[in-house]
Amino acid sequence: KMAGSPTPSTGSAYLFLQSTCKTIALPSLYESSQKKPCVFKALKLALADSTGSVNGVDMLKVHCSHPHLIVQLRFCKQENCRRFLRSYREGALQKSLQSHLQLSLATTTVPLKVELKAGSEHLDKMLKDEDHCLECIYREKPDRLPDEEIVELEECLKSLVLHQSTNNNVAGKGCSSLKSPSLPYPPQGSSLPPQVTFTFQGQQFDNRTITPDDHQRFAKSVSKKWKQVGRSLQKSCRALRDPVIDNLALEYDREGLYEQAYQMLLRFIQSEGKKATIARLIAALEENGLVSLAEELLGLHSNEDCS
């Protein structure tokens, strides 16, 4: 250990993924040169969701071992590893993976069975003991650097992000399947589209990216009008074109209006990346008479239900 280092250097774990749908074989999709970037992008996005950071966990290699897709993970910070474990334990990682695979592959739901192992230890059996899980993970030192294929896919994804910030129709070599220009909730300090500010009710506001807080407030308050807002956003967002909005209404009918609205805006954020700005959402709200919600998102009045 390095002197003064507050945490162990690195730890490793294996994430086992298996589709429980007979028509979807994840190893076969990953072995396909056309679908591999789609599957990789979904893995990258879901792992970023689980740790709250694009660099929270590294993928070292993806193994195809039918019927499993096995992802070797490397953790460099304990706090990121804890976040990952909590996300995994609560089922959020599984749900995120299913959602991102569905979007990336442009398919119906991808039901998944997940398992987590560190060496010979099955972490699923000890998830309630977070510290023990951490010990097992940090006991396993990664035996490799990121695989060449992983490095290539990472570069491909980064390249597409850069190109799509200036051109929506880039079909990068070997990356044409990667349609989302960025991860959900791009860093607020990141480069924004040319429209740096916008006007609302005679005031100027920074045209920042949509935040997780914006996302939740929108879903909580928009109620039945989420479809109308979605159709307004649809005009400049291909990911929401028909029949996506109606499909979302059906798919999340049992979960209720909050989840329907949340999933609609999630599609917009994932598809538009850095271009998923507050200005576009405010314009859609204004168009549908939701001025009070627009004011709330911009902090123009305090709302008693907001903590």
162 in a structural domain: no
Question: Does 217 lie in the same domain as 109?
Answer: no
As a whole number of angstroms, the distance between CA 122 and CA 207 comes to: 46
**116 in Cβ contact with 14 (< 8 Å):** yes
Cβ-in-10-Å burial (0-12, 13-18, 19+) of 247 comes to: exposed
Confidence class of residue 5 from pLDDT cuts 50, 70 and 90?
very low
As a whole number of angstroms, the distance between CA 140 and CA 118 comes to: 7
Question: Looking at residues 19-44, what average pLDDT do you find?
Answer: 91
**20 in Cβ contact with 113 (< 8 Å):** yes
Question: Does 144 lie in the same domain as 52?
Answer: yes
Confidence class of residue 172 from pLDDT cuts 50, 70 and 90?
very low
Confidence class of residue 22 from pLDDT cuts 50, 70 and 90?
confident
Question: Which among 125, 153, 181 is the end of a domain?
Answer: 153
Whether residue 188 has pLDDT greater than 50: no
Tens digit of pLDDT for each residue in 242-260? 899 999 999 888 889 999 9
Range of the domain at 226: 197-298
pLDDT at 306: 42
Domain containing 83 — which CATH number?
Answer: 3.30.70.680
Domain count, the chain: 2
Q: Give me the residues paired with residue 245 across strands.
A: none
Q: Give me the residues paired with residue 200 across strands.
A: 203
Tens digit of pLDDT for each residue in 107-141? 778 899 999 999 999 999 999 999 999 999 999 98
Q: Is the pTM of this model over 0.85?
A: no
4: left (phi over 0), alpha (psi -120 to 50) or beta: left
Supply the mean pLDDT for the chain. 84
Question: Does 120 lie in the same domain as 39?
Answer: yes
Question: Which among 153, 188, 215 is the end of a domain?
Answer: 153
Domain containing 206 — which CATH number?
Answer: 1.10.533.10
Tens digit of pLDDT for each residue in 199-222? 998 888 989 999 999 999 999 999
